[in-house]
Structures are given as C-alpha cells and as structure tokens.
Structure 1
Amino acid sequence: MTLNNRRRLAAGATLIAALTAGVVPATTAHAAPAVPGATKATTPAPDMEGVVAALNAAMVEGAPGAMARFTGPDGVQARTVGVRDRESGAAMDVRARFRIGSVSKTFSSVVLLQLVQERKLELDAPVNRYLPGLLPDDRITVRHLLTHRSGLADYTDAMFEHTVPGFEAVRNRVFSYQELVDLSLSEPRTTEPGVAYKYSNTNFVVVGMLIEKITGKPVAKE
C-alpha cells in the first residue's frame, strides 16, 4: 500500500470515527425492555467538532477542500472547509456538483436489478441479446457482469498503470461507453465467461449501456 493510500485510509477512518462517535442507532436505544421510573435513553449528538478536525486533516494532506454531511434524528448537519476551486477561490459547497466515482456502480446495479424485477431483461440472458454485437462472446450474460465473471479486461489497468500521470492524463476527458468497451476489448480477456471472479470496471460500463438501451433514458436520469 502506498503512503498516499495509507493517508487516505487514515483520513477516512478519522472521519468515520468522528461521525459515529457518540452516535447510537435508534434501535439500540429502545432495544431493552422499559423499566418503570427509568430515564428514557436519548441519542447523543454527533461530534461535529471531530468531523471538522477530520476535514482539516484532509487539507493538511493536500486536499483543496473537504466536506461532510451527517443525517441523524435531529436532521441534517453539514460542515465544509477549504475551497472547491483553487483558481477562483470558490468555497466548498455541499450543494455543488461533484464526482461520485465508484459510488455510481451501486446505483447502476440497483437500477439494473429493478429492470430484472420488472421483467425487462433476464439475468442469465446473453448481453448481446440486448446489445447486439457489442461483445465478442455470446456466452457473457447479464449476471456475469454483476458478479465480475465476464472475463472482460479492466480498461483502467492500462490507463492507470502509472497511477498519478495516468489519472491526470484523462481526468478532464469524457469517454463514451463505446470507447471504454473498445479499450477493454483491445486487451486479452481475463477468464472464460462464468469461470472465475475477476474485478473489472468494464462490467459497469456495459451495465450502463444496458440501462440506457432498455429504458431509452440516460443512466443519471434512471
């Protein structure tokens, strides 16, 4: 693990600890039988000072700014530090648009499974049934995408081989789904379909293509 990764993990752990310090789930407070005359348990307030300390720690490590939002029994509390744009000096804003990165995979997976529930596609059907000719192997199913058993190479492996330079080279470029699939298909497949688990970001790209094909709407809208 690199030093930067350790620092990110440490900052993340600090933030999580700050958010959860003193926070008791509502179910815990009412788990025990009521005792006559006993004082009703209350949920302690979150340590928002600790949250700010964690955000400031992220800035010490080089972040231009950081933000956190806590949702609890008493509503929503947010804290921000630093700026979201070093050039303009615009302050960090919890209402601003920002990249959610891999969090999008969770949403996409849920939407795809909802479409399965609505009988608009089948998990064990070939991907090429819905996206004819997209993949070079008709044995690759929708389920293989979600379980990372498609064998499709991860297009990010070559892209981020030299992590920081690789990221900086593409961070402001917008790729189409087809471009990312083409990058994957230019590499050897990692396994035969269904044979073994091998994580690949390409699987989620195809999931996005399936959602848009079936619904006729952008993934973000769905």
Structure 2
Amino acid sequence: MAAAAVCPICGGTGWKIIERAGLSGAEPCRCAGEARAEALQEGSGIPPNYARATLDNFQIPQDNPIARTGLGTVLMQVRSFVREFPAPERPGLLLCGDTGTGKTHLAVAALKAIIDKGHEGIFFDYQNLLDRIRSSYDKSSGSTDKETYRSALDAEVLLLDDLGSHRVTDWVEDTVTSIVTYRCNHRKPLIATTNLSPDDTGSIAYTTPGGSDVHKKSLREAIGERARSRLFEMCRVVRMPAVEDYRVKRAR
C-alpha cells in the first residue's frame, strides 16, 4: 500500500505557520478540515450506491420542459437548504414525491455537502432502522445492536430515507414519533424522503375496473399525526414533480 501523501503546506502537522503584523503564529491547515470531512463521510452510513451523489451531478432532463422547470426549482431549494444550514427556524428538509424522482440522490447529496462543512451526519433506511431497533429489544433475536435508537436520537444530522415505508403498527408510530419529537425539541436537523403524500389524504394509486379510486396511504396514516405535525414544524417541505423514473433515466 502506498504511503499517504504528506500535505506540502503543513508537512502533516495539521497546522500552518502564518505571519501577521510582524508576528508569527499558527492556524489549522486546510488539510485538517478535509481529513475530518473524509472521516465523517466514511462514518455516515451512506450506501455505496449513493457514494458519488452530489448536487452538481443531479441530472435534470432537458427534453421535458415541465420536468426541467420542476426539478430545477427543487434543486435550487435543496441548495438553499445546504447554504443556509443550520437554519434557525426550520433546520430540517422533507422531500416528498413518487418513486424514482431523485429524492434519495438529493437527500444524500445535501447530507454530504453538510458533512463537508464540518457537521456530523448519519444515513438510515427507515425500514431497516425500525427493524434494527425492534431486534435490539428482542432477547430471542440475539442482536447486540443497542446503539441504533440512540444514534437516531443523538446524531447531529439524521437522514431517514423512505419514511413511512414500514408496515404501520402502534409500535412503529410510537417509535418514529419519539425520534422525530426528540429531534424537534432539541433542534437536531432531520432530512427525510418519502413516497407518501404529506397531505391529509393519500394520492390515488389506481382506479378499479368498476371506476372506484384506490388511494395510497398518506404520510399521516403511515407515521401518525403527531410525527407528521412535528416534521412540518421542523422541516422545509419540498414536493418533487412528476417525472420519468430517475434511476431508469440515469441508466440510459
């Protein structure tokens, strides 16, 4: 394995010598911040599939004027969130939209940009998070993962991907409410994505041959009114436009 390159500015000490008004001193070298950001990225739990996701490489289709305008507006909103982070009023971000609209790419890109600014952040898939928390309290599972719930509470920035995707039970509703409420009360930023409608009622999933509309559950129905209310209190809500599946588009 090749030896790590030594910073030519500080010689690997993490400090650079400066001269001001005839006096010598030292200040942290840029490489120290870069090394910290790299370490924070490695410990964030971001899936390898999104390791290269950035705001700059988010693809906006140019062949569809409606999608181009809608996604362009969304991208500007996410950039504004990162630039102003942490905002005093609404320190969180909730991205809502159908599957394949690019929500996870944008959420991860925002988290990575925030980490690059020196903040700590952690990624959790919502369903996997709840399964891990449940297993940690089930003695028969043999799980030793006791820190997951605490991590969801205490992380400086928490990203919950696919919020509301878990089967709805009283335990699920109570658990997600406790996480969201704790973070809201302690002003801890939360970034979340969801395929569910943030409105009181869900969107129409399909229409039966008899002409009856079948509705997809809403975010309120999936996580409960208390958790949804807290989310709206702490998050900027960004609605994704209806576009062609983002993952299919990128694969071409």
TM-score bin, normalised by smaller chain: under 0.3
Q: Which is richer in strand?
A: 2
| Pair member with larger Rg | 1
Q: Please report the TM-score for the alignment, with normalisation by the length of structure 1.
A: 0.25
